[in-house]
Amino acid sequence: MKRSMKSMKKQQGFTLIEIAIVLVIIGLLVGGVLQGQELIANSRVKQAVKDMNGSAAALFAYQDRYGRLPGDDGPAATLAARGSAWAAVSAGDADGRLEIATNQVFNGAGEAQEFWQHLRAAGFISGNPADAGVLALPTNPWGGLMGVTTSNMGGNLTGTKVCLSQVPGSAAISIDGELDDGLGATGRLRATLGGGGVNTNPNNAVLAALYSEDNVYTICYRI
């Protein structure tokens, strides 16, 4: 009889208090994971905004120092004379215009490669000035690229624009809300549909509706 009682005690499950404690712990763990994911998402948005504004500041600082546009600066002999950081840097055509079409934003063509090389050689952004082609382009917080275009975008958005590819819809909403009017088809920031894992060039087909969190975008901000 005693053995039977002992056996029953051993087979008893968790008490209600023990189950409640486990549920509380699971809730705290899930809450912590979700909060951590939100913090990561917010930090990426903040970094993206910082990068876009930083690119604008770097461009203006370059103009103040050299009196020329990064990317368009040249000839090669003028650049090489500035020091060793400029030894492997390509020169622009020095015609007074930065020329990067919308289909050149993320491939380093036009004067896109030179734009980033010049800013790096001058010390305004980090990285190796000798990096060429696509490698010359910085990456953004979502693993896409950062580029520049001077071509007009939909709605006749003119001027120099810094662009980010592979931006999730939720992040695009936050960035546009912080920098502009929250709409991808108007204001200083324009957005076009992109694809996950693809650096989609911007085009003239801007958004006709509100952002969707189900989509990925290329966003361009006039600096």
Residue 156's region, left for phi above 0, alpha for psi from -120 to 50, else beta, is left
Could you tell me what percent of the chain has a pLDDT over 70? 87
DSSP 8-state secondary structure symbol assigned to residue 104: G
Mean pLDDT on 189-194: 92
Q: In this predicted structure, what is the pLDDT of residue 6?
A: 52
pLDDT tier at 14, thresholds 50, 70, 90: low
- Phi, psi angles (nearest 5°) of residue 18: -65, -40
Q: Does 11 score more than 70 pLDDT?
A: no
Domains detected in the chain: 42-222 (3.30.1690)
Higher pLDDT, 40 or 109: 109
User: Sheet of 161-168: strands edge to edge?
Assistant: 146-149, 161-168, 216-222, 189-193
Mean pLDDT on 119-134: 97
Q: In this predicted structure, what is the pLDDT of residue 100?
A: 97
- pLDDT tens for 80-120 read 999 999 999 999 999 999 999 999 999 999 999 999 999 99
| Helix axes of 16-66 and 169-179: crossing angle, nearest 10 degrees | 50
Q: Does 26 score more than 80 pLDDT?
A: no
Mean pLDDT on 1-19: 58
Q: In this predicted structure, what is the pLDDT of residue 177?
A: 94
Q: In this predicted structure, what is the pLDDT of residue 10?
A: 53
Mean pLDDT on 21-46: 76
pLDDT tier at 23, thresholds 50, 70, 90: confident
User: What single string gives the DSSP state of each residue in 174-188?
Assistant: HHHHHHS-S-TTSSS
Average pLDDT, the chain: 89
Q: What is the pTM of this model?
A: 0.82
202 neighbors 142 (Cβ within 8 angstroms): no
Q: In this predicted structure, what is the pLDDT of residue 153?
A: 84
Higher pLDDT, 206 or 194: 194
94 neighbors 76 (Cβ within 8 angstroms): no
